[in-house]
Amino acid sequence: MAKKVRVCFHDRCFDGTSSAAVFTRFYRECVDAQAGFAYTGLTHKPAGSLFDDGLFDAEENVIVDFKYSPSPKLTWWFDHHQSAFLTPEDAEHFRRDSSGHKFYDPHYKSCTKFLATVAGEKFGFRAEPLAELIRWADIIDGAQYESPEAAVRMNVPATQLALVIEASGDDGMTIRLIPELASKSLEEIMRLPFVAQEFQTLYNRHENSLEMLQRHSACERGVAFFDVIDYPLEGYNKFIPYYIYPDCFYSVGLSRSPQRIKVSVGSNPWLLPPPDRDKNLASLCERHGGGGHARVAAISFTLGQVKEARAAAQAIVKELRG
């Protein structure tokens, strides 16, 4: 019987989905060509455990682009977030690990590139067939677009696919895409009927969200703020604030999904703040129970915590503007 591999990945995230695809191809080429794969998308929760009982149900259990778990059943882990560990004890557990299969480096802009690099250096994985995917994961997760227009207008397959991954209402979309990402070019994937149709629907919604954020946002002292909790804008493009306000340094936004309220905090990739206003956004969000990267971070709240979410957002706005 083929070995079962459970790959848990950051869901509704281009980098998380791409990391799962790269791991799949790496494992099949360098570890076990006969292995069978099952995928589970993970999302950040406002409270409680991030890892449900029974999640790690395979012979090999993997997490990519998501927080660390000290479970003895976890056999592979790759991550690049500053806030990778839920507790100091988890960080110490990782440092004591001797498996040689758990890797962490917050200096990488994408987990996809980090995973491909480690797999190549330590296990002989040849990632060249996935070079396009790896390059775009680094651009998208590291916010390395050439301009706000390139990020918002979505005129290449990679940015179109990112919209499908991040905003689709189909909970199974990312899992369906992982095997495709591991074997096809981005252009080939965008020609698949189920992807092309989903993109067109989502792009129409994207244009509506652009108009809505223009109406419900404001920029003061280099910080754009918007509150769309009362509007259906799950999965909006996070670069829209810098498209609307190219002179802003930071953006803080409040939005709602069926599972949570989210405070999103980002920095303008095309306009760095002056040194006296340069803030580590992950550290700011960690004060309110969130985390992420130095340049982009977030906080999750329950659907009933509207007041708390708005208070946290206003506190961050005040600090960034100050």
- 157 shares its domain with 259: no
Average pLDDT of span 34-57: 87
Query: How many whole angstroms separate alpha carbon 212 and alpha carbon 196?
Result: 24
pLDDT confidence tier of residue 269, bands split at 50, 70 and 90? very high
Residue 170 shares a structural domain with residue 247: no
Residue 204 counted as domain residue: no
β-bridge partners, 300: 262
For residue 222, the model assigns a pLDDT of 97
Are residues 182 and 258 located together in one domain of the fold? no
Residues 223 and 142 in one domain: no
Residues 96 and 182 in one domain: yes
Report the pLDDT averaged over residues 293-311: 95
Regarding whether 315 and 171 lie in a shared domain, the answer is: no
Token readout for 98 is 């001797």
For residue 53, the model assigns a pLDDT of 80
pLDDT of residue 234 exceeding 80, the answer is: no
> What is the domain count for the chain?
2
SS3 call for 28: helix
pLDDT tier, 48 (very low <50, low <70, confident <90, very high otherwise): low
Give the mean model confidence (pLDDT) for residues 175-189: 98
Q: What is the pLDDT of residue 169?
A: 86
Beta strands in the chain (DSSP E): 4-10, 36-42, 60-64, 76-79, 102-104, 217-220, 223-227, 250-256, 261-267, 291-292, 296-301
User: 278: domain range?
Assistant: 216-321
The predicted pLDDT at position 1 comes to 79
Domain membership flag for residue 306 = yes
Check whether residue 41 and residue 131 sit in a common domain.
yes
Least confident among 27-31, 78-82, 255-259, 305-309? 255-259
Among 193, 208, 233, the domain-final residue is: 193
Mean pLDDT across 101-123: 98
Domain membership of residue 202 (yes or no) is no
Average pLDDT, stretch 181-192?
98
pTM of the model: 0.86
Would you say residue 294 has pLDDT above 70?
A: yes
Decide if 206 is inside a domain: no
Tell me what pLDDT residue 322 has: 86
The CATH number of residue 234's host domain is 3.10.310.30
Is a pLDDT exceeding 80 seen at residue 146? yes
Residues 21 and 145 in one domain: yes
Mean pLDDT of the chain: 95
Q: How confident is the model at residue 235 (pLDDT cuts 50, 70, 90)?
A: low
Residues 6 or more apart whose Cβ sits within 8 Å of residue 276: none
Q: What angle do CA 66, 164, 184 make, to 5 degrees?
A: 85
- Higher local confidence (pLDDT), 1 or 122: 122
Q: What one-letter code names the amino acid at 85?
A: F
For residues 177 and 257, membership in a common domain is answered with no
If asked whether residues 9 and 132 sit together in one domain, one would say: yes
How many percent of the chain have pLDDT more than 90? 89
pLDDT band of 161, cuts 50, 70, 90: very high
Residue 238: in which H helix or E strand, if any? none
pLDDT score recorded for residue 291: 93
Say yes or no: 37 and 171 in one domain: yes
Q: What is the pLDDT of residue 47?
A: 59
Mean pLDDT of 294-300: 94
pLDDT above 70 (res 218): yes
Q: To the nearest 10°, the Cα dihedral for 176, 149, 261, 18? A: 30
Which amino acid is present at 28?
A: R
The verdict on 12 and 115 lying in the same domain is: yes
